Amino acid sequence: MAEIRLRNTNERITGEENVKAFLESQEVLYEHWNPDVMPAHLKEQFILTDENKQEILTAYEHEIKDLASRRGYQTWDIVALSEATPNLDAILKKFEDVHTHTEDEVRAIVAGRGIFIIKGTPEVGYFDVELEAGDVISVPEHKPHFFTLMDNRQIVAVRLFIETEGWIAHSFADPEFIKT
């Protein structure tokens, strides 16, 4: 289940209802998919063939189509990152700049873990959303954020798009950003 860390105070928010209520107050969508839908032989696999990816999309077809029909997503795919990913450090470095998009950024974590760092309302400031398998998040369009991996550096996620062009990152240089 997702957990929140407020960067200004180091306060943590835990428990599904608290996390959901906090994210709702920050206009961030949070839902949960049953992680057991993930095919058992892929739960700890972070190097995926096209067949593996299709198997995951088929397993979660009901959840994906439900979310897509409610929120207008037209296409979806699978992203997998791990130490085996060529140039992982360079990819993460590129991710770790605060930026915005013209459409929302949706990720459904199906294996591994990851963190969204998001700029909240002025009284909240930047906060981390630590995600694990089953967590589904949507960062609204134009909301400054970035994504990175956690210590184990492995994740598989479903990405959903209205148009893939909407996901182009626009850098958001922010003196208020707190690095740690």
CB 61 within 8 A of CB 108: no
CB of 35 to Fe ion, least distance (A): 23
Structure tokens at 92: 């993460």
CB of 8 to Fe ion, least distance (A): 22
Residue of this chain nearest to Fe ion (CB atom): 105
Does the annotation place 24 within a ligand binding site?
Answer: no
Size of the site for Fe ion (CB under 5 A): 1
Nearer to Fe ion, 63 or 104 (CB): 104
Nearer to Fe ion, 105 or 130 (CB): 105
Within positions 37 to 76, which residues make up the interface with Fe ion, using CB under 5 A?
A: none
One character per residue 98-117, x = contact with Fe ion (rule: CB under 5 A): -------x------------
Instruction: Count CB atoms within 10 A of the CB of residue 90.
Output: 10
Nearer to Fe ion, 7 or 145 (CB): 145
Does the annotation place 142 within a ligand binding site?
Answer: no
Known binding residues for Fe(2+) are 99, 101, 105, 145
Known binding residues for Ni(2+) are 99, 101, 105, 145
Contact residues for Fe ion, defined by CB under 5 A: 105
